[in-house]
Structure 1
């Protein structure tokens, strides 16, 4: 058999990029205190979700 590697799908999130505002980004690790980091699939900027209350 050939050595075909299975690719793990990128987990898309419904986070809007604050730079170009496309509807999808993907999870891109975490920063300090466990805050989720995201990466825009369109412009490649990284950002975190900010809870403005």
Structure 2
């Protein structure tokens, strides 16, 4: 039984942290992508 707790502690925590970070970063990447697209449109209008 202790081995199961050890595996959960060694694998479960890093997996949970990775999922949390991926979910947080996904929103920021979406905003960054929209900003880059808008910037490209503005630059195209200036030319």
TM-score (norm 2): 0.24
Higher relative contact order (CA 8 A, sep 6+): 1
Determine which structure has the larger helix proportion and give its number.
2
Determine which structure has the larger strand proportion and give its number.
1
Q: Between Structure 1 and Structure 2, whose CA radius of gyration is higher?
A: 2
TM-score (norm 1): 0.23
